[in-house]
A and B are shown apart, each in its own frame.
Chain A
Amino acid sequence: MRDTEKTYRFEDQRDTIYKVDPEHPETATLPLQRTEELLLNMGPQHPSTHGVLKVILELEGERLVKSTPVMGYLHRGVEKLAEEGTYHQFIPHTDRLDYVCAMYNNFAYCRAVEKLMNITVPERAEYLRTIVAEVQRIIGHQFWLGTQALDIGAMTVFFYTFRDREILLDWFDELCGARLTTSWYRIGGVERDLTPSLIAKLRAFLDYFPPKIDEYQVFLEKNRIWLARTKGVAVISAEDALSFGLSGPTLRGSGVGYDLRKYEAYAAYPKCAFNVPVGKNGDTYDRYWIRVMELYESVKIIKQCLDQMQEGPIMASVPSVTLPPKDRVFTNLDSMIQQFKLFSQGFDAPPGEIYCGTEAHKGELGFYIVSTGGGKPYRMKIRSPSFIHMGAFDHMSRGYMIADAVTIFGTYDIVMGECDR
């Protein structure tokens, strides 16, 4: 628990002479040994930093006085690379931002470019996008739950969440040929449709999964260690959370019901009924509870989408921007030339600038694109939730114990590939 009343600075008593009154030996004051701040480097090679992150912790005893994140170990200059390639060429780069949940990055990027080009995506493609995005959200939350519990010391949950995550990764493998770096979304639609086999497998998973979420909770809900290490840890008020720009479950844990799926109502979300779980206390436990509840909500959304989805095209028909169907590319010369030109030269984007945010499972993943016309973006800024959440790390960690630093990394669901870009 945070102790805000007490100051953690001991008086400097190094010069105190050790005196004992012979008549009252019990009043003898032991001079405190040296009291000075201890600087501790946590990382960059630490298993719970979820990548390569270093934090310089200033400690008074076991309390954190100040923490300074040192980032950039995974900086690859993605924003600079974006200026050199065409819009279509950038999609595989987005996979490598948040490599745990590539689908969501593809989705956020394609949505931003569609806003720039003013393209409307066909209805079936919107449903497919929503289904796959929610599958990705389940994967992301499973990954988070396993690793967060592992960091705190509850190892068992990890095996259960990763067992179920494996099923969905194999499903992705069948969908697009890759488990992690998917690149399945395309500007104006998606790369390929769901096959009947995929739909059957997904329906089977939706029946299998909700009891498994209950099972995860059994390990944690009544686990005294888990409760002691999450309840009342890393509390942030709603006002501070907004001011720091936190988003996603990290913001909703503080009681702000800001979810872009409801707020902007993109893709097929407005056609589905689902709730946005909102916490009360703004602590790690509330953020954990929100993510677990979102697993149930994701299952609900996918079921509704599968039921409502109608046959139709999966790619917008704007030949100057969107790619031709893949089977035509292999058989038709014109389509092959069109695909080649779209990838190598790009399409002519209108001059202007847009910002488009998408609710990824970590928070608001936004793309700010400045175009001066032509096939390449003039400037692309990626608003990555992990980076912005790290800005609040010092504020959220002050006054807690050193072991809570690990909990606080985990509660952001941080992935350094996205944080450093």
Chain B
Amino acid sequence: MHPLAERIKREFPDGFVDAVEWRGDLAVTVKRESVHAIARFLRRDPEIDCDYMVHVSSVDWPDDEERFEVVWEVQSIRKRHRIRLKTRVPESDCLVDSLTDIWHGANFMEREVYDMMGIRFRNHPDLRRILMPDDYAEGYPLRKDFPLQGKGWRDTFEFLNEKA
């Protein structure tokens, strides 16, 4: 196992789930309850020192019990490593801790995840839609059950629903 993953496993034996290293990228899956503690550890620990927020993303796995996967990718410029921190969120309780208090950049990126996938972030200072309109009521566009052609007003266009 990657030394960083081992370090996380040692510090958080209960929160650690899995670590995968593929094509040089390290992905660590952790339990939802311990995301915030582990992220703070990655930021504060002088050996790991992840000071740079790369991106926040989300993946929808509709067939799984815990449907959504939230991905934070953080990097240490000085120590030259990148860690992808992942956690699973069920659809019934679509809530996960926000990391905005650790990395400022998580603010906009988590808002985008909320906008596109409908995952809510606890303690987020400003959780609103960011790319879609504020009054967009048709759901969350990047979910797999959202049709590519769109929903709502567009459904009334007959030529779009005709089967060729």
Contact of A243 among B51, B80, B108 (CB under 8 A): B51
Using known A-B contacts A71-B130, A71-B131, determine if residue A240 contacts B104 with beta carbons closer than 8 Å: yes
Contact B73 A391 (CB under 8 A): no
Contact of A75 among B27, B53, B132 (CB under 8 A): B132
Contact A354 B22 (CB under 8 A): yes
Contacts of A387 in B (CB 8 A): 108, 112
Contact B142 A355 (CB under 8 A): no
Map CB proximity to B onto A65-94 as digits: 1 under 8 Å, 0 otherwise: 000000110010101110010000000000
Contact B59 A84 (CB under 8 A): no
Question: How far apart sit A368 and B55, CA to CA, in the bound complex (Å)?
Answer: 9
Residue of A nearest to B76 (CB): A242
**Range of interface residues on A (Cβ < 8 Å):** 35 or more
| SS of A interface (majority) | mixed
In the complex, B41 has a CB within 8 A of chain A: no
Contact of A244 among B73, B104, B133, B148 (CB under 8 A): B104
Contact of A391 among B25, B71, B105, B129 (CB under 8 A): B105
CB < 8 Å A-B pair total = 100
Contacts of B54 in A (CB 8 A): 245, 355, 357, 364, 366, 383
Contact of A383 among B25, B55, B60, B129 (CB under 8 A): B55
In the complex, B82 has a CB within 8 A of chain A: yes
CB distance from B147 to the nearest CB of A (A): 10
Contacts of B116 in A (CB 8 A): 79
CB distance from A288 to the nearest CB of B (A): 23
Residue of A nearest to B107 (CB): A391
Contact B108 A72 (CB under 8 A): no
Contact B22 A352 (CB under 8 A): yes
In the complex, A353 has a CB within 8 A of chain B: yes
Contact A366 B51 (CB under 8 A): no
CB distance from B99 to the nearest CB of A (A): 11
Contact B103 A366 (CB under 8 A): no
**A residues 345-392 with Cβ under 8 Å of B?**
352-355, 357, 364, 366, 368, 370, 378-379, 381, 383, 387-388, 390-392
Contact of A366 among B23, B55, B80, B104 (CB under 8 A): B55
Contact A381 B104 (CB under 8 A): no
Question: How far apart sit A354 and B51, CA to CA, in the bound complex (Å)?
Answer: 21
Contacts of A366 in B (CB 8 A): 54-55
Contacts of A330 in B (CB 8 A): none
In the complex, A258 has a CB within 8 A of chain B: yes
Interface of A toward B, CB cutoff 8 Å = 71-72, 75, 77, 79-81, 84, 115-116, 118, 239-240, 242-246, 256, 258, 263, 352-355, 357, 364, 366, 368, 370, 378-379, 381, 383, 387-388, 390-392, 395, 420-421
Having A77-B141, A352-B23, one finds 6 other A-B pairs with CB under 8 Å, namely A80-B142, A366-B55, A368-B55, A370-B59, A387-B108, A391-B107
CB-defined A-B contacts under 8 Å, sample of 6:
A75-B132, A77-B141, A81-B148, A245-B103, A379-B60, A381-B71
In order of increasing CB-CB distance, the 6 nearest A-B pairs are: A245-B105, A391-B108, A72-B131, A245-B53, A381-B57, A383-B55
